[in-house]
Copies of this chain bind each other. A is one copy, B any other.
């Protein structure tokens, strides 16, 4: 799987890492029980500091996407708290949709975009 850092982005590197890994999981490119690359490997590969990868993994653990195993390193392990997830999604959507609506995006277009993203996730997951 591709993981790439945009060094000019406003987003912190560890957030970029986290997001890309979560997208990987959603696309089934990483599956329950799979190991992520070691901290050192990933740091070298994408060209950032080990501490930063470490931070990303800590956050992923705390958010219930992986567990940290002494032998296997970071392992995909979803701790499903759907209520929490729904609440979080709701909050994020409210702001994102408001921004889009102000700029003239219609509900229909949003539904299509959602459809497209799910299609994308299912397709690549096969």
Binding site for B on A (CB under 8 A): 7-8, 12-13, 19, 22-23, 25-27, 62, 64-65, 67-71, 77-78, 80-82, 84-86, 88-90, 92-105, 107, 109-111, 113-115, 117-118, 121
Counted per complex, copies of this chain come to 4
Closest B residue to A48 by CB, please name it. Answer: B71
Tell me whether B70 and A7 are in contact (CB under 8 A): yes
Tell me whether A103 and B117 are in contact (CB under 8 A): no
A78 / chain B contacts, CB cutoff of 8 Å: 102-103
Tell me whether B114 and A97 are in contact (CB under 8 A): yes
Q: Interface majority SS on A: helix, strand, loop or mixed? A: helix
A97 / chain B contacts, CB cutoff of 8 Å: 26, 89, 114, 117-118, 121
Question: Known: A12-B70, A117-B94. Contact between A85 and B104, CB under 8 A?
Answer: yes
